[in-house]
Structure 1
Amino acid sequence: MTAPVPTAGAGRPWLSVLTVARGNRAGLIQTRDSLREQVGGGAWEWVVVDGGSTDGTVPWLSEQAADLPAVRWCSASDRGPYDGMNRAMDRARGVWLLFLNAGDRLAGPDTLARLAAVAATAPSAAGLLYGDALERLAGGAVVRKPARSHRTAVWGMFTHHQAMLYRHAVVAGLRYDLRFAIGADYAFTVQVLRRSGEPVRFAFPVCVFAPGGLSQRDPATGRADLQAIRREYLGLNPTVCAAIKGLQFLVFFLRRHFPALYAKGRFHTSVTTFRL
């Protein structure tokens, strides 16, 4: 039986995969290869917003139409990755949006087909679909990182940003807040949750998260961003915010200094360990 595909209207893709990059042609190639491997999944498009790279990205992108007919791209200087995501949303035509950064990969060759099946049966009021992520550890192992419930959003992102699908109509008019260098995706998602009916959680991984992102390189700024977002977007009082920040610092300390113990509690390693 053929998996259901979302109805998107004549000439409109059901999904826009949005990728931002700057000076990372190698990462774009990895993401392109992952998209090229997809089997099924209906009509989708790949929108690439480059931040004015000078590493050969622009001529490489100009060659991609022959390989991926659904690719659309632009290149110009911007104010960082979240500015690029805003620009990507402006160009997207899909019913649903998936942000997949340069260097990130889909979890498997059937990922878009599985996502299409979820989107096709999602309630019309649902503005957010989310699942698990795969995370690459030191040494090459890739482990499954289960999503938490969206009801835990007060603590922060409940799954990787690259494991969320946003309904385009629900995010219309929303922007990534450029005041937050690391936490703008959290602020964006909190706003989507307010606009959305009951989100849909599904039980399979969406992406392989590329290591070395901003949140991993500068966790202190990330925690500060989340604090400000909790106060401004969620209206939490300073005492509650301070308590949450303290607990998050303990988690960060555990991950950095006792990675095996952290992995045991956060990852599914017993039966879902992958090597790519």
Structure 2
Amino acid sequence: MTMPPPLRLAILTVVRNDCAALADTYDSLRGQLSPDVVWMVADGASTDGTAEWLAAHAEVVAWWRSARDSGLYDAMNDALDAARRFGCSHALFLNAGDRLAAADGAARLAQAMARHPDCALLYGDALERQGDGRILLKRARSHRWASLGMFTHHQAMIYRIGALAGLRFDSAYRIAADYGFTLAVLDRGKAVRLRWPVCLFAPGGLSQRDAKAGRDEQAALRRRHFAHGAARTAAIAALQRVALAVRHHFPALYAKLRFRRPET
């Protein structure tokens, strides 16, 4: 009888010229790393001391590189390739500035991986830090609503590497390649929702700074993946614009509808 491969979680971080944010991510991983939970970092040739910080912390980073790349998703592909070489069974992308939501977050993820060893995707809720300093809980939507967009933060998704054969982030998409990647994974196996927050999301990323371009890329991916026609594409775009307008003009109402206070 063939024994299943051992479970090992790779936490993959991409960074460029943001050493302080990288150190913040590491702070949330402190005490959670082990032979079965490893941290890997792809640095895009930073000039702010990031490479020196990584060299000084080589004992806690299972793999890192500092080299020029073609952007975020190229670096994510490099990190994922490293996780494959290290024999990792699962991968979580936790970018610089993002944190695990709890001090026992890695242990809880390992338990979930053991309960669902054949799932292509595990995903959970996320905590979000607000501009006023509050941390609120943003619950995931069901993956069955993936045609409307990302159903949780990418940093709250755990991919089974065995389900990713031949699959890479398409760097032709500057903002939404993670959405296209996730849609492809959903076609390859079962997805299970975890009923607790996985990450504390650092706001201000590219998808928030250029939300319109992100929506346009998502629409293109939906047309390609779901063969959405013009009418359905326009309807989803209209819903997204309404949600964005509510968030911008009525932030208290949006927060009441979309967020909850953390449970812990």
- Taking the aligned partners of 2:57 and 2:109, their CA distance within structure 1 comes to 24
- Pick from 70, 76, 97 the counterpart of residue 79 of structure 1: 70
Shift of 1:8: 4.3
Instruction: Tell me if structure 2 keeps the 8 A contact 1:153–1:190.
Output: yes
Aligned to 2:64, what secondary structure does the other structure show? strand
- Pick from 232, 246, 262 the counterpart of residue 240 of structure 1: 232
Instruction: Give the equivalent residue in structure 1 for 2:115.
Output: 121
Question: Does 2:23 align with 1:29?
Answer: yes
Question: Does 2:54 align with 1:61?
Answer: yes
Instruction: Give the equivalent residue in structure 2 for 1:265.
Output: 257
Map 1:89-238 to 2 at 5 A. 89-92=80-83, 93=86, 94-124=88-118, 126-196=119-189, 198-238=190-230
Shift of 1:37: 3.9
Instruction: Tell me if structure 2 keeps the 8 A contact 1:41–1:116.
Output: no
Which sits farther off after the overlay, 47-56 or 115-124?
115-124
- Taking the aligned partners of 1:177 and 1:252, their CA distance within structure 2 comes to 26
- TM-score scaled to structure 2, two decimals? 0.94
After superposition, the CA RMSD in angstroms is 1.5
Aligned residues: 258
Q: CA offsets per residue over residues 7-55 of structure 1, 9 Å max, x none?
A: 743xxx61000000100101110011111143x8761111100011011
- Taking the aligned partners of 1:64 and 1:127, their CA distance within structure 2 comes to 32
Which sits farther off after the overlay, 57-66 or 46-55?
57-66
Counterpart residue identity of residue 215, structure 1: S
Instruction: Tell me if structure 2 keeps the 8 A contact 1:42–1:116.
Output: no
Shift of 1:72: 1.2
Give the % identical residues.
Answer: 51
Q: CA offsets per residue over residues 104-154 of structure 1, 9 Å max, x none?
A: 000011000111111001052x10000000001111001000000000000
- TM-score scaled to structure 1, two decimals? 0.90
Counterpart residue identity of residue 164, structure 2: V
Show structure 1 runs of 4+ deviating over 3 A: none
Q: CA offsets per residue over residues 208-264 of structure 1, 9 Å max, x none?
A: 000101111111101100110000122111110111011101101111111110011
Give ranges in structure 2 of 5+ residues lacking alignment: none
| Change beyond 3 A, Cα 1:252–1:37 | farther
Give ranges in structure 1 of 5+ residues lacking alignment: 1-6
